Structure 1
């Protein structure tokens, strides 16, 4: 059952009535000229020209200037010798200004400065229009808006006031002081400490510390830059959401995706929608990618790729050593980095990988199994472990870069150790299990090639006369008739003598 609190209702109702009556009274109360050094009748009918320490009062509004034209009928004061406008919640200062009492609007032009009495915001520009009733500032020319957040902090045992500043810049800014909400259009930007957000259009809600950007959005934070079509930024949590054509750059790292989430407080990024992570020598792709950065937020610490995972590492050629390529595929891929150099990589579920040297890309060394673990030193592969129905194929390369043979191995687990200097397999060890017994064989490819060559050379050569001649149509029938006649002429002598007796 809902209880009706009559006393509370009456209190709220009376407060609303008083506010309404106050606004009505403000509209009815006159605009009073409190002081002017001189007064003269202007050429315009119903207007007075005032000069020298001119001061007008309208309720709690004060207008001061050195030269003004006062339209008494329209209750408009146009100030030319400076413009100082003060009201209970703030002030405006400019070279020129107009106050329209009936509309409750003050407009200022030329080197405009505005702020509030509590010093929570400060604005500059070339033109400002202030709606007194709704407490809205409209700034269409070179506006800059500063937000100030004051926080009490203790430093060295002493209590201090720390001021946190947010700066909004755009071609046009509308600031709603009641709602502490700002809207910027045209080359808009918001800056807070080391975070800068730029976009075609931006909004900032000071109550919840939330910024939104639309169109050609760029976020810069330390060494990280984020590009997107649309972005949301939570200033309090230092958390950003980016949508459509997302691109993240940080030193040697470039990440692209459709949707990205960035937690700068905890140093992680999450991407989905065709995500791709590129470093100097590494590429990662999959359905989604989760990256963590080190405590400084400047280097990649780890990467997790979920579904359709693919990892690629490339080493450029150096001196007499050819470049190499290592690739891994699987359902899930996890990689650890140190200083943006890979240390460890594992692939889980349907894992397969291969590596080869760029001048021998037709000879790819394979590693397949349920799981594949690769370990690196200084960015080069040190050893690998293939587990669960493991299979491997490795090619032996001689100094002259010819391939002498291949090793095929299978087992429950295969351990492969590499020589990073030679970029070759050093040792290979197999362990069998109940389901997959260990097996291995070496294929002498040089011997295979020799046998193939000898077989080709010893094969008989076909005589051209022995080759069948294909005949078609009438030519074929004529050839058959001629052949029959030749056979009849070549009958044995006995058959010919018997025909004569007959």
Structure 2
């Protein structure tokens, strides 16, 4: 008897437990709230309740409206026909010609002119699936999304209703009045308008074309960050770098590590490991091993300094370099100074502050050195050395130095080779005289003007003009301590023979740093970019929830 009683108690407990877990008590049953007509036709639709006219259905916090519905109560499943409208939590709405909904799995399927709307966007497609468990809608038959001023199109994608995020795959296009974005892999946050691109992607607006394989773009503010194989094209200029930042509002771009700016109009290639471009001001600032390569048909000039700035419109560019400015011009001209200033319009290069120029075996120094290009032929035309002008050339057959100095110096180039040097005012010279390779004498003198003539960049004659005074000494009668003019300073160890020699050891360290950072970021850049703080912390203004619950509203 006691055993039977315990069994009854157990059965009652179990039945109570089962009763407590029914879908109805947990709100999981699909409920028919209203319809104009209700019917059951086992022949036409076995197992279904047929509801027709102004149909209203509820499942949890989701409301459904349509013209006709087949409700399979046993399976907790419904098919919906005509003017279907599904509203989820007052914030998500989906309309279509036809839909199905499974109350057990909480998955909806809609087809035929499907429109899904959220507080900030609407999605249109022929077929859409929506999983209420995850809050994810997905499609694979092309869709068009409208979000504020943005129109987005893709072949397939997902919408994360909880994160307000679209995940697009295959043939993605975003258009707005300012920009067109194309990619095959793009995540878009509808509240902030932030887009994350992965794989070959382009961003085009009125004045720029941007390419990247991993990047972020704010469609509202027109600014972005790119970290993989990225470049920007504008006005026949190309900017590329390992990491790039872009702000269209202020016409600004920044590059970090392995920066390269190619300017086909002005025949320049600029490289560094840090650069800022201010397009509206026609300005570029570069540091961390900057190098400007200015090329013509016959030769190329290179400019380097710790900091370089390029300003001015096309064909009127100004290049400024400071401090520790250096230049090298193929095949064998180089120079150094505290700073340099190049004016493209007039072809003038100024070396300022302790300048020195080497041309062939000649060393030129003074307080200020000007090198003037012919802007038509783009060949060297002339030079000026102002104040304390001094030219030195090693005696190629001996150990001495040919020297000449004056207040100012003027030189003339023919076919990019210096052919004549004039030293004026208080001119002095020491010149080694040879005959058949044998030193015959050393000429020392003063005058108001000295003219040096050169062939193959070597001094061949030295002529004193205007009140000349001088003596030619036998070599053995000319003491060593008298063979250098006052102010003599041979700086041959500063001569630059190749482009690589333009850089100090300190500047070369930037290459090592960039290489280490590239290696460190390689694996990171092979994955889609991490979500930026500005996306995670974006605060919506004036959130407008969807409060439609009645079909007629």
Task: Give the TM-score range, shorter chain.
Answer: 0.5 to 0.7
| In the alignment, structure 1 residue 112 sits paired with structure 2 residue 143 | yes
Structure with greater contact order relative to length (CA < 8 Å, sep ≥ 6): 2
Q: Deviations over 1:190-221 (max 9, x none)?
A: 22223122223211234543211112221111
In the TM superposition, what is the alpha-carbon distance from 1:283 to its structure 2 partner?
1.3
Q: Deviations over 1:37-57 (max 9, x none)?
A: xx4467992223334554444
In the TM superposition, what is the alpha-carbon distance from 1:74 to its structure 2 partner?
4.6
Separation of aligned partners in 2, 1:207 and 1:95: 28
Q: Mark the CA change 1:329 to 1:313 in structure 2 (over 3 Å): closer, same or farther.
A: same
| Paired residues of 2:232 and 2:239 also in contact (CA < 8 A) | yes
Q: Mark the CA change 1:369 to 1:132 in structure 2 (over 3 Å): closer, same or farther.
A: same
Mind listing any 5+ residue stretches in structure 2 that lack a counterpart?
1-57, 442-473, 475-553
Q: Deviations over 1:286-322 (max 9, x none)?
A: 222211242xx4x4612112133222234xxxxxxxx
1:303 is paired with a residue of what secondary structure? strand
Q: Mark the CA change 1:32 to 1:248 in structure 2 (over 3 Å): closer, same or farther.
A: same
Separation of aligned partners in 1, 2:293 and 2:137: 55
Q: Mark the CA change 1:300 to 1:247 in structure 2 (over 3 Å): closer, same or farther.
A: farther
| In the alignment, structure 1 residue 444 sits paired with structure 2 residue 429 | no
Tell me the residue number matched to 1:92.
123
Pairing partner for 1:48 from 51, 62, 78 = 78
Tell me the residue number matched to 2:381.
382
Q: Deviations over 1:410-450 (max 9, x none)?
A: 23x22223153694444513334xxxxx4124433336636
Pairing partner for 1:283 from 302, 307, 329 = 302
1:45-194 equivalent positions in 2, closer than 5 A: 45-58=75-88, 59=90, 61-101=92-132, 104-116=135-147, 118=148, 120-146=149-175, 148=176, 164-194=177-207
| In the alignment, structure 1 residue 307 sits paired with structure 2 residue 323 | yes
| Paired residues of 1:349 and 1:370 also in contact (CA < 8 A) | yes
Mind listing any 5+ residue stretches in structure 1 that lack a counterpart?
1-25, 149-163, 315-323, 357-363, 397-404, 433-437, 456-502
Tell me the residue number matched to 2:362.
365
Q: Mark the CA change 1:228 to 1:429 in structure 2 (over 3 Å): closer, same or farther.
A: same
In the TM superposition, what is the alpha-carbon distance from 1:66 to its structure 2 partner?
3.4
Pairing partner for 1:347 from 351, 354, 359 = 351
Separation of aligned partners in 2, 1:219 and 1:27: 51
TM-score, structure 1 as length reference: 0.66
Separation of aligned partners in 1, 2:241 and 2:110: 46
Separation of aligned partners in 2, 1:171 and 1:202: 13
| Paired residues of 1:108 and 1:127 also in contact (CA < 8 A) | yes
| Paired residues of 2:63 and 2:86 also in contact (CA < 8 A) | yes
In the TM superposition, what is the alpha-carbon distance from 1:348 to its structure 2 partner?
1.6
**Higher Rg of the two aligned structures:** 1
Q: How many residues align?
A: 374
Q: Mark the CA change 1:122 to 1:208 in structure 2 (over 3 Å): closer, same or farther.
A: closer
| Paired residues of 2:387 and 2:408 also in contact (CA < 8 A) | no
| In the alignment, structure 1 residue 271 sits paired with structure 2 residue 268 | no
| Paired residues of 2:120 and 2:191 also in contact (CA < 8 A) | no
| Paired residues of 2:193 and 2:220 also in contact (CA < 8 A) | yes
Separation of aligned partners in 1, 2:422 and 2:157: 77
| In the alignment, structure 1 residue 248 sits paired with structure 2 residue 258 | no
Separation of aligned partners in 2, 1:372 and 1:253: 23
| In the alignment, structure 1 residue 196 sits paired with structure 2 residue 209 | yes
Tell me the residue number matched to 2:404.
409
Separation of aligned partners in 2, 1:232 and 1:89: 27
